[in-house]
Amino acid sequence: MMTLPTGQFTVKIRPFADLIYHVAIFICLLMLIGAIFILKLNCKLMNNTFTQTTSPDDYLSSTIVFGEIKKSIYSKNFRGGFVTNVFGSTQLDFGQADINGSVTIDISQTFGETIIKVPADWFVITHHAAIFAEVKDKRTDMLMANNTEKTLVLKGYSAFGAVTILNCA
């Protein structure tokens, strides 16, 4: 701190004091926004309700942060769900599952990867926003995939990630 005499008044000059104050406020605001985002996500996850006529196995609910999950779906009446990856990986195998009509999976990922293995008779539609990311359909046997009675719709976004669609083994 430096003091400059200016007659009757003394002016104190504190270099970087105001800058540090503004940076601290900015960091606190970022932490508050992050906390609000996490609380909203937790409320969204906790408010998943199922009617008594459906099984919880009919819905997919997956949130991964810095991890990996490999899940096989066995439901014969799969109804959709959501996948959230943050620096994580999710592998879904629908080899033993079945769907009726159109089913939607909402995929939201940042620096993540989602691999989906689907039966050959499923028709897959991707409405997925890719931001420095890719959506690859690597299925080799798609002759029967024109069956629109069994349609899997992939929605959501990927930022710095990948969504890969494969045939079931």
Residue 59, CB-side half-sphere exposure with 13 Å CA sphere: 13
Give 2's strand partners.
13
- Per-residue pLDDT of the chain in tens (169 residues, 90 and over written 9): 455 555 565 555 566 666 677 778 888 888 877 767 666 655 554 444 433 344 567 888 888 888 899 998 888 888 889 999 988 899 999 988 888 889 999 999 988 999 999 988 888 889 888 888 899 988 887 665 566 788 889 998 898 899 999 988 6
Q: What are phi and psi of 75, to 5 degrees?
A: -65, 135
Tallying the residues shown for the chain, one arrives at: 169
What tokens appear for 112 in the block?
């993540």
Contact 88, 107 (CB under 8 A): no
The residue type of 147 is N
Q: CB within 8 A of 8, min separation 6: which ones?
A: none
What tokens appear for 89 in the block?
């990986």
pTM attached to this predicted model: 0.65
What tokens appear for 9 in the block?
């008044």
Secondary structure class of 90 (helix, strand, coil): strand
